[in-house]
């Protein structure tokens, strides 16, 4: 009888303990707005994110005009394809190409403890950030100022972001419009961040710049050896002759 009790307790404990092998899959990509057969492209992107079992989706250049809304397409597609509940948030960034309202957007199947959004410091094109706190960690979507010679604006934007989330466990992900080698990103190194820019991601047809990536705060893992090495670029090849975006997608398996 005693052995049966011990066995039952063991089964109960095993059932309720979280699995240490379960990864957090994050998919990030610049969607290239409403260009180039956008519905087909976006369907291909979402199919890849679903195939990778992504639990957080992080998108830039989510565009809306009088007839089209990429955010509605994303919500409908995810719910129909996965049969899961997705919590979805977006925040306006700027008017693009003089005709589209442009947003950044996040979607997740995880419970969200807190959502934070706002504008970044001034730049010629308005930029914003969007953060979701999930299991004690802030996942932050950003799309920094875009022109190559706009370093001074990106410096202020990065300084603002680092200060805003100081003391929290977090990661920044998205389109940085500069590489970890550029001087504006030295602010991250100075504060002990770990970077994951797995390769050149733009332009997708002939990548020359590593501008899509992730920065993890120094308290994200307890030890350096715990950092993952599972960041990779995806959707490099055209699907039925159509490039998925002008950026490659980024997947990181935490």
Asked whether residue 109 is assigned to any structural domain, the reply reads: yes
Query: How would residue 229 be classed by pLDDT, with cut points 50, 70 and 90?
Result: low
Judge whether 14 lies within some domain.
no
Domain containing 97: what range?
23-224
The answer to whether position 245 is within a domain reads no
Whether 145 is in a domain gets the answer yes
Residue 110, in any domain of the structure:
yes
The predicted-structure confidence for 164-179, as pLDDT tens digits, reads as follows 999 999 999 999 999 9
186-207 pLDDT tens trace = 999 999 999 999 999 999 999 9
- Looking at the predicted structure, is the pLDDT value of residue 11 above 70? no
- The answer on pLDDT for 130 being more than 80 is yes
Domain for residue 18, yes or no? Answer: no
Q: What is the DSSP string of the chain?
A: -HHHHHHHHHHHHHHHSPPTT---EEEEEE--TT-SSHHHHHHHHHHHHHHTT-SEEEEEEEEE-SS-BHHHHHHHHHHHHH-S--EEEEEEEEEETTTEEEEEEEEESSPPSEEEEEEPSP-SS--EEEEEEETTEEEEEEE----TT-HHHHHHHHHHHHHHTTTS-EEEEEE-SS-TTSGGGHHHHHTT-EEE--S--BSTTS--B--EEEEE-TTSSSSGGGS---EEEE--S-BTTB-S-SS-EEEEE-
20: pLDDT strictly greater than 50: no
CATH number of residue 135's parent domain: 3.60.10.10
- Predicted local distance difference test score (pLDDT) of residue 22: 54
Average pLDDT, the chain: 90
Domain assignment present for residue 60? The answer is yes
Confidence bin at 223 (pLDDT 50/70/90): low
Does residue 247 fall inside a structural domain?
Answer: no
The pLDDT of 113-134, averaged and rounded, is: 97
> pLDDT tens-digit profile of 71-123?
999 999 999 999 999 999 999 999 999 999 999 999 999 999 999 999 999 99
Lowest mean pLDDT among 5-14, 16-25, 65-74, 225-234: 5-14
Q: What is the number of domains present in the chain?
A: 1
**pLDDT at residue 225, rounded to an integer:** 64
pLDDT score for 147: 95
């Amino acid at each position: 009888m005693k052995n049966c009790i011990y066995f039952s307790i063991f089964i109960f404990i095993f059932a309720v303990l979280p699995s240490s092998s379960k990864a957090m899959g994050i998919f990030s990509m610049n969607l290239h707005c409403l260009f180039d057969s956008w519905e087909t492209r976006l369907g291909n992107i979402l199919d890849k994110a679903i195939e990778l079992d992504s639990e957080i989706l992080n998108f830039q250049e989510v565009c809306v005009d009088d007839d089209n809304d990429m955010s509605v397409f994303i919500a409908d597609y995810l719910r129909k394809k996965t049969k899961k509940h997705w919590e979805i948030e977006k925040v306006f960034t700027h008017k693009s190409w003089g005709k589209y309202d442009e947003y950044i957007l996040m979607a997740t199947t995880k419970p969200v403890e807190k959502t934070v959004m706002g504008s970044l410091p001034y730049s010629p094109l308005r930029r914003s950030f969007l953060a979701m706190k999930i299991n004690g960690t802030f996942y932050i979507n950003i799309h920094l100022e875009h022109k190559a010679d706009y370093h001074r604006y990106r410096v202020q934007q990065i300084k603002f972001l680092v200060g805003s989330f100081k003391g929290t466990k977090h990661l920044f992900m998205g389109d940085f419009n500069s590489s970890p080698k550029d001087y504006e990103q030295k602010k991250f190194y100075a504060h002990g961040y770990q970077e994951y820019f797995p390769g050149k991601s733009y332009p997708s047809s002939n990548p020359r710049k590593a501008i899509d990536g992730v920065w993890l705060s120094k308290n994200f893992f307890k030890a350096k050896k715990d950092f993952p090495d599972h960041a990779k670029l995806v959707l490099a090849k055209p699907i039925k002759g159509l490039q998925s975006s002008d950026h490659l997608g980024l997947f990181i398996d935490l």
